[in-house]
Amino acid sequence: MVEYRFSEKFEKRFLELEKKFPKRSSLVMWALHLAQEDIGYITPAAVDYIAARVGVSPAWVKGVVSFYSMFREKPIGKYHLNVCSNLMCQLMGSDKIEVCIHEKLGIKDGETTPDGKFTYTRQVECLAACGYAPAMLVNNDFHELLNAEKVARLIDELQSK
Ligand code: FES
């Protein structure tokens, strides 16, 4: 198995976080965020490494990874389109957003464009933006009150970057 360890930048951030969490198991989520930011997704080697650094079992860490949809276990595109699949967004037309993404990029739920630029995820729980539905998260940026035209424009902008 390929070994993993935090790069210098993330090691520094982990050491700062360690001071804030006397209960070491509370570090797991933070360590996973660091690893994901560091290498893009959570590898089995990262699970083992974090378990060893925090002092819990790899099964504990793996359980956290598999429970939270924000953690990824495989590479994704540069832009991760997360369309809310909950009731309010569905009522307000999130299906049309999905159709737009499929037509513009040729990808369905869970797929990545061949150029590695976009990944689309539909099974995203409420993004806590129900009053501005339908909503979509692109990486860490919220996009609200969407319709197909806005999404098409956004995709064009991201494609030109
Ligand atoms: S239902 Fe979509 S943000 Fe809450």
- In a shared domain, residues 141 and 90: yes
Write out the residue range of the structural domain in which residue 38 sits.
8-67
Q: Is the CB of 137 under 6 A from ligand 1?
A: no
Q: How far is the CA of 84 from the CAs of 75, 93, 99, 111, 151, in angstroms? A: 21, 11, 14, 16, 14
State the pLDDT at residue 60.
97
Q: Is the CB of 89 under 6 A from ligand 1?
A: yes
- Residue 73 covered by a domain: no
Query: Using only C-alpha atoms, what is the Rg of the chain?
Result: 18
pTM attached to this predicted model: 0.78
The pLDDT tens digits of the residues spanning 70-95 come to: 899 999 999 999 999 899 999 999 99
The pLDDT tens digits of the residues spanning 18-66 come to: 999 989 999 999 999 999 999 989 999 999 999 999 999 999 999 999 9
Domain count across the chain? 2
53 vs 123 pLDDT, higher one = 53
- Residue 72 covered by a domain: no
Q: Is the CB of 84 under 6 A from ligand 1?
A: yes
**C-alpha of residue 124 to centroid of ligand 1, in Å:** 9
- In a shared domain, residues 95 and 33: no
